């Protein structure tokens, strides 16, 4: 294997690792946002798992996290703005990355 091939393989491996780490962090942030929203909605604990699944499913509609924010915004109505949700999500994503890096 040439040096170029080795560098290419290393780059591809790093890209795959980074993509997987980003996916795990986003999934964890989605769950944190769903738990937060369920609490704001007053959902009983018996419905929490179903709501988390609904929020996570919303993330499959399009690339990025805007679809998750749209779902939560629709559920919460006027009680929260999209900008507040974006700020909250960004914080949850940062927390998730730290949690995943620590352990």
- pTM for the complete prediction? 0.82
Largest separation between any pair of C-alpha atoms in the chain: 60
Q: Cβ atoms within 10 A of the Cβ of 94, count?
A: 12
Q: What CA–CA distance (Å, rounded) separates 65 from 67?
A: 5
State the number of CA atoms in the 13 A half-sphere of 21 facing the CB.
14
Give, for all 103 residues of the chain, the pLDDT tens digit: 688 777 777 778 777 877 888 889 999 999 999 999 999 999 999 999 999 999 988 888 777 788 999 999 999 998 999 999 999 999 999 999 999 988 6
Residue closest to 72 by CA, chosen among 88, 85, 91, 90: 85
What are the residue boundaries of the structural domains of the chain, listed by start? Answer: 25-102
């Amino acid at each position: 294997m040439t040096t170029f091939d080795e560098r290419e393989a290393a780059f591809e491996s790093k890209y795959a690792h980074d993509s997987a780490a980003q996916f795990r962090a986003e999934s964890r942030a989605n769950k944190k946002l769903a738990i937060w929203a369920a609490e704001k909605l007053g959902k009983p604990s018996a419905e929490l798992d179903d709501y988390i699944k609904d929020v996570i499913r919303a993330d499959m509609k399009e690339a990025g996290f805007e679809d998750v924010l749209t779902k939560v915004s629709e559920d919460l109505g006027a009680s929260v703005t999209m900008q507040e949700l974006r700020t909250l999500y960004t914080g949850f994503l940062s927390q998730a990355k730290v949690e995943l890096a620590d352990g």
